[in-house]
């Protein structure tokens, strides 16, 4: 097995140098998710600026994949509209469920495209998705999204 | 004429070419108790152990991934077999556990509610004055759990009585299933009488009074096309070992909404979300109901059994069984001194046919058949109250399956006549 | 020097000669989760289906007799494996069900008692003020069932805390297990820490205060000679799949007296004495606890596994594991940046060894090992509170068995170093 | 299989012409046993005459084996002392558990020796033992035997 296809340099870089880690002061929405099989934890929070741009905060502990994924999430979603955020989130989910097949859109996914290799490791897909699931819940809690939308 | 190539099917079941009792060809007519297993099922189980065996849902290594994939793919196949989604299918060890899982949802919810322990769905809380409705033809697995729930909660058990020909007597249905009713749990096809019940109507009646509707599909899922969505039930239970699968696996299908609402039954590892010494939260269904190391190899093997049945086609299976039912009923009707317990015609009945022989005890009938290589079941078939209803201590039951043809029924009929002669009651 | 011929043993396990992840020899070090199966076990299960399969305890025909004989002979063998009588051994689907069977004895007895439903043994009736004592190193299977019992009855859950080196802190034992205590349920050998607990002393303390003593033997029965009568417990639970047996079978041993006194758990067919629509009476143990079609083929296969282990000799197995434990602990202690969670020496511990690597998450350690063909478990090992106690989210665990030797441990150690290098934490 | 080895003429004769069937007026002990797998039922009752001889009554329904066994029981036990009754009962139990092997004592067992063939059919052993189990319980109830003795 090719460890490098899983642990792309971008992932290791985000893992070692997480972007935008930290919680918000008074979040509109906040969601805490755990991976019940390994105990990894993540809290994702959202606010919205007056122009409709999302403000994302997060904190957590876990493996390289889950932490790097959260860092990439902030980089991609921070400042975007809720519509754009949904577009990115759905593209990420689709990529992670494609088991390594599919044709992820680099324009939308940016650095997140590095996670395409993770999709080949079913046990790690959950790690990569942890923060994205929490994001959705935080957005629902903030009233920016209605339940069940997309998923 | 049956569309099934029974000779070819028989060849797929190694045990059916064995002999018993000193050289007699095995004529296996006890599939209502448990079915035999085709080679593809045995191979699937063995291959799993020899190639992929590992703990599922837990490991991050290669084998654990393969084992998890096998297990969840099996869930998709078996759910698909009854027209369901994988996430609505819970694996248990047998249908009895499936039915207990449901009955315990009521006793657990009631106990938790009585102690004010959290938010409990009131549909599962039972109080004295509430009623649970079953029928007089239930297998013990769909009777005793409800007796126990009643003992623990003070609810009352009611049952739909039977007509003399072995069908539900629906005369007083509106009084039996009324506003006090919180559970209606009925067998789809009786394992002792063979009767096929109008379950959709009963489930609709259950829902009309706000009760939860449950079907025991042990004898229907293996024998006819079943789409859980057409039954109108909230929950359907059945066993793997009666549909070509191994022992040690049962199924429970439920609507997403009901499975979400039900409290867990067996608790422990793999069914949790978060655990502290003081308290825990639970995973969503089906995991919530699958504590501990699940029945992985059994699920993989049962999926192979379901695929085998699908290849034959469940409509073809049902047609075949209808023919065998008709043939058996006619042959028994033609015998002097033999009385069918249950519908004496093939209308709305399965191929399991119970009967008694005047002057002969079922054990003795079964013994004579056995001495000729014919395996039938004698006893109360775990439906003792049904025997009481028909004033017999027990019956002899012929229950064929896809690997039986009319020549097997003939062997049984010949054996009955031989028994009458041996004991001099003819 | 190990007395086990590991090369010969390996050859009995087909899966151990497969390769994973593109040609790597499989180094299976996840036996704490589930063991691999030797050919004799797979053959036993298959032969049962191909030659004897039928419903047990029910039929009077030749196959039913053979199947019943196989099943009950398996019970004799498996009971004998732990020095017990067959009639005191109950088959379940896994250890989790075994432990729930016991915990439900308490919640069921309490519910029945609260409704005045018959004569209930007061030892099983729990009230607010009563306590249940476990340890801080329990598997979820011996934690959550008791949490649920407490939620349903108002009893209080207490636990024996742990020392920093992963042993029970018995300083306040007399206060923890006191006159309020009705249950003491402890793990014999921890699946996460490897610690072997002084269970006899704990059971004696339980009995001194009139409590019922229960042992989770999941990680001891497969790994050392266990005679249930020497443990001093009333009940001992374990699983088949961790001792060479198939998935889908668990065991519960109990003293005759306790099994008689306990109310049934799962109810239905085959566990009854007499059934009427209004009420039923139950069969004596073990049948009382084995409702529905039992795990027949699984029992037959597990018996073959037990015989395989007996042929090696459980003392030899324990010696072998002690050596592997010592070797593993020493090798891990010698690594820079690696910390063992649990006893860091081989005294009173099993061969399952958990550890964390500074700067590396267990998932990532496990992934690197996996890429080299080494299968270990990462996560909280269904003992989440134990992880919390040691302030780690999860651990990596090496857990060998009879088919592993020190060369397998070496592969794991090399993999850990490789992981440190890959992630640049060394 | 040889049906005749199971259904000895003696058994069939007792089945068709049961000896001493009927319940007692005021039994000292009475026990009702069922075979839970097939629903066969038997009631066995005991009294003791002034000389210490046992008086046995019974009623029941079931298969040829269980009913013939009860009839043989009456024939053997009726009028015997409790000691002799125990000797016979234990010899019968031993024979039934010998799976067709062993060497049953015809002097003690009389007609009951015909049940030796039944021991080869595990599913029928229960039938043959039903009345003998009930006898033991009835004797215990009558105070003629203490619990657990023998079995
Ligand atoms: C100590 C311990 N207890 C209980 C269990 C639960 O066993 P099972 O999953 O077979 O029910 C396990 C294994 O997972 C264990 O290691
Ligand atoms: C109608 C019916 N319900 C329930 C059961 C119980 O199934 P199991 O013994 O597999 O739990 C059976 C079979 O024995 C059955 O025929």
Contacts of D124 in chain C (CB under 8 A): 60
Burial status of residue C154 (CB atoms within 10 A of its CB: 0-12, 13-18, 19 or more): middle
Q: State the average pLDDT for chain C.
A: 97
Q: How far is CA A145 from the centre of its chain?
A: 16
Residue C52: DSSP 8-state: I
Separation CA C313–CA B229 (nearest Å): 54
Contact yes or no for B230/B224 (Cβ under 8 A): no
For residues C168 and A48, give the distance between their C-alpha atoms in angstroms, rounded to a whole number. 50
Edge-to-edge strands of the sheet including C377-379?
Answer: C338-341, C353-357, C395-398, C377-379
B382 is catalytic: yes
Lowest-confidence region among A142-146, B126-130, B173-177: A142-146
Tokens of C310: 């007996």
Distance from C-alpha of A25 to C-alpha of C187, rounded to nearest angstrom: 44
Is D8 a member of any domain? yes
Structure tokens given for C171: 């300083």
Instruction: Compute the distance between CA of residue B369 and CA of residue B354 in angstroms, rounded to an integer.
Output: 14
Length in residues, chain A: 151
Contacts of B373 (CB under 8 A, 6+ apart): B19, B20, B21, B24, B25, B26, B27, B411, C62
Residue B109 in 3-state DSSP? helix
pLDDT of residue D150: 45
Is C309 touching ligand 1 by the criterion CB < 6 Å?
no
Backbone φ, ψ for residue C82 (5° rounding): -115, 25
For range B28-37, the mean pLDDT: 98
pLDDT of residue B2: 63
Reduce the DSSP state of residue B279 to 3 states and report it. coil
Q: What b/e sequence results for C193-214 when a residue is b if at least 16 CB atoms lie within 10 Å of its CB, and e otherwise?
A: bbbbbebeebbebbeebebbbb
For residue C201, pLDDT over 60 is answered with yes
Q: Identify whether A148 is part of a domain.
A: no
Pick among C356, C374, C393, C420 to test the A interface (most A CBs inside 10 A): C393
Token readout for B295 is 């029945």
Cα–Cα distance measured from residue B41 to residue B298, given in angstroms and rounded to the nearest whole number? 9
What per-residue confidence (pLDDT) applies to D123? 85
How far is C325 from C175, CA to CA, in rounded Å? Answer: 34
Binary contact (C64, D123; C-beta < 8 A): yes
Does C64 lie at the interface with D, CB-CB under 8 angstroms?
yes
**C283 with D123: Cβ contact below 8 A:** no
pLDDT tens, B259-317? 999 999 999 999 999 999 999 999 999 999 999 999 999 999 999 999 999 999 999 99
DSSP string, C301-351: HHHHHHHHHHHH-HHHHHHHHHHHHHHHHHHHHTSTTEEEES-SSSTTB-S
Q: Could you list the beta-strand ranges (E) of B93-145.
A: 131-135
Which pLDDT score is estimated for D115? 95
| Pairwise CB contact (< 8 Å): B363 & D37 | no
Instruction: Inform me whether the pLDDT recorded for C195 exceeds 70.
Output: yes
- Judge contact between A38 and C379, C-beta under 8 A: yes
CATH of B46-310, one of 2.60.40.10, 3.30.470.10, 3.40.640.10, 3.30.70.100: 3.40.640.10
Range of the domain at D62: 3-141
Contact C21 A1 (CB under 8 A): yes
Give per-residue pLDDT as tens, B393-426: 999 999 999 999 999 999 999 999 999 999 999 8
**pLDDT digit string (tens) for C124-157?**
999 999 999 999 999 999 999 999 999 999 999 9
Residue A92 belongs to some domain of the structure: yes
DSSP class per residue in A77-113: HTT--HHHHHHHHHHHHHHHTTTT-S---HHHHGGGG
Residue-level pLDDT at C324: 98
Q: Is the pLDDT of residue A1 over 70?
A: no
Report the pLDDT value the prediction gives residue A150, as an integer from 0 to 100: 45
Give the residue carrying structure tokens 């998709």: B76
Count how many domains chain D has. Answer: 1
pLDDT at B341: 98
**D84 to chain C, minimum CA–CA distance in Å?**
29
Which residues lie across from B162 on neighbouring strands? B168
Q: What is the pLDDT of residue D31?
A: 97
**SS3 label, residue C103:** helix
Cβ-contact B349, B325 below 8 angstroms = yes
Please state the rounded mean pLDDT for residues C368-397.
96
Give dist(CA C124, CA A105) in Å, integer. Answer: 62
Q: How many CB atoms lie within 10 A of CB A25?
A: 7
Q: C224: which 2 tokens?
A: 């050392």
Structural tokens at position D145: 């035997």
C218 within 8 A of C191, measured Cβ to Cβ: yes
pLDDT of residue B1 exceeding 80: no
In this complex, is the C-beta atom of B21 within 8 Å of any C-beta atom belonging to chain D? yes
CATH number of the domain at D43, please. Answer: 3.90.1010.10
Q: Which residue of C has its CA nearest to D123?
A: C60
pLDDT band at residue C58 using 50, 70 and 90 as cut-offs: confident
| pLDDT one-digit tens code per residue, A22-57 | 999 999 999 999 988 778 899 999 999 999 999 999
Segment (H or E) for C89 = strand C89-92
The domain limits of chain C are: 6-30+313-422, 46-310
Adjacent-strand bridge partners of B131? B156, B181
3-state secondary structure at position D132: helix
Terminal-to-terminal C-alpha distance of chain B:
33
H helices of C115-224, where? 144-153, 173-176, 199-208
Which candidate, B382, B400, B403, B384, places its Cα nearest to that of B392? B384
Query: Do the domain assignments include residue A39?
Result: yes
pTM of the model: 0.96
Q: How many CA atoms lie within 13 A of A138 on its CB side?
A: 32
Which atom of ligand 1 is the closest one to the Cα of C242? 10
- CATH (residue range C6-30+313-422): 3.90.1150.10
pLDDT for the residue D1: 59
Q: Which tokens in the block code for residue A4? A: 């490098």
- Among chain B residues, the shortest Cα distance to A127 is held by B60
> What residues flank ligand 2, with Cβ below 6 Å?
B 94-96, 139, 141-142, 187, 191, 216, 218-219, 239, 241, 250, 382; C 269, 292-293
Band of the pLDDT at A151, cuts 50, 70, 90? very low
User: Residue C59 pLDDT > 90, yes or no?
Assistant: no
The percent of residues in chain C predicted with pLDDT above 70, rounded, is 100
Is there a contact between C250 and C272 (Cβ–Cβ < 8 Å)?
A: no
What are the tokens at B344?
């004496």
Per-residue pLDDT in tens (0 to 9) along chain D, 151 residues? 578 889 999 999 999 999 999 999 999 999 999 988 778 899 999 999 999 999 999 999 999 999 999 999 999 999 999 999 999 999 999 999 988 777 888 999 999 999 999 998 888 999 999 999 999 999 999 999 987 544 4
Cβ–Cβ < 8 Å for C96, B93:
no
């Amino acid at each position: 097995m090719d460890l490098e296809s899983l642990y792309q340099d971008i992932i290791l870089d985000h893992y070692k140098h997480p972007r935008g880690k930290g919680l918000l002061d008074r979040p509109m929405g906040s969601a805490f998710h755990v991976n019940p099989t390994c105990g990894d934890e993540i809290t994702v929070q959202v606010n919205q600026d007056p122009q409709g741009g999302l403000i994302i905060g997060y904190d957590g502990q876990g493996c390289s994949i889950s932490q790097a994924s959260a860092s990439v999430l902030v980089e991609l979603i921070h400042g975007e509209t809720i519509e754009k955020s949904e577009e990115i989130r759905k593209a990420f989910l689709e990529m992670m469920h494609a088991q390594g097949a599919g044709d992820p859109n680099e324009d939308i996914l940016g650095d997140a495209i590095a996670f395409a290799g993770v999709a080949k490791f079913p046990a790690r897909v959950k790690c990569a998705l942890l923060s994205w699931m929490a994001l959705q819940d935080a957005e629902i809690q903030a009233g920016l999204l209605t339940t069940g939308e997309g998923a | 004429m049956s569309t099934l190539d029974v000779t070819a099917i028989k060849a797929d079941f190694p045990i059916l070419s064995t002999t018993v009792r000193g050289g007699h060809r095995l004529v296996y007519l006890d599939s209502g108790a448990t079915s035999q297993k085709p080679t593809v099922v045995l191979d699937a189980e063995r291959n799993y152990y020899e190639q992929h065996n590992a703990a599922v849902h837990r490991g991050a290594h290669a084998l654990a991934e393969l084992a998890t994939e096998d297990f969840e793919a099996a869930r998709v196949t078996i759910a698909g077999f009854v027209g369901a989604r994988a996430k609505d299918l819970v694996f248990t060890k047998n249908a009895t556990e499936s039915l207990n899982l449901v009955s315990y949802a009521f006793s657990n919810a009631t106990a938790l509610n009585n102690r004010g322990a959290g938010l409990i769905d009131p549909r599962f809380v039972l109080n004295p004055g509430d009623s649970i409705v079953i029928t007089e033809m239930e297998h013990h697995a769909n009777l005793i759990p409800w007796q126990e729930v009643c003992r623990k909660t003070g609810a009352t058990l009611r049952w739909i009585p039977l007509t003399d020909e072995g069908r539900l007597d629906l005369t007083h249905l509106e009084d039996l299933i009324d506003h006090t009713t919180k559970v209606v749990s009925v067998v789809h096809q009786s394992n002792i009488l063979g009767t096929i019940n109008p379950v959709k109507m009963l489930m609709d009646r259950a829902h009309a009074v706000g009760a939860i509707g449950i079907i025991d599909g042990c004898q229907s899922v293996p024998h006819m096309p079943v789409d859980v969505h057409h039954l109108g039930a909230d929950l359907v239970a059945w066993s793997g070992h009666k549909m070509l699968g191994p022992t040690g696996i049962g199924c429970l299908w439920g609507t997403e909404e009901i499975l979400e609402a039900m409290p867990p039954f067996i608790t422990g590892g793999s069914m949790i979300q978060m655990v502290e010494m003081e308290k825990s939260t639970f995973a969503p269904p089906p995991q919530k109901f699958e504590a501990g190391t699940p029945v992985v190899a059994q699920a993989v093997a049962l999926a192979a059994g379901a695929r085998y049945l699908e290849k034959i086609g469940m409509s073809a299976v049902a047609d075949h069984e209808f023919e065998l039912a008709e043939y058996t009923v006619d042959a028994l009707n033609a015998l002097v001194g033999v009385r069918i317990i249950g519908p004496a015609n093939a209308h709305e009945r399965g191929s399991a046919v119970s009967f008694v022989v005047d002057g002969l005890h079922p054990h003795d009938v079964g013994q004579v058949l056995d001495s000729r290589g014919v395996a039938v079941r004698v006893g109360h078939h775990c439906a003792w109250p049904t025997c009481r209803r028909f004033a017999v201590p027990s019956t002899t039951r012929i229950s064929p399956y896809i690997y039986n043809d009319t020549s097997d029924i003939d062997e049984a009929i010949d054996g009955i006549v031989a028994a009458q002669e041996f004991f001099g009651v003819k």
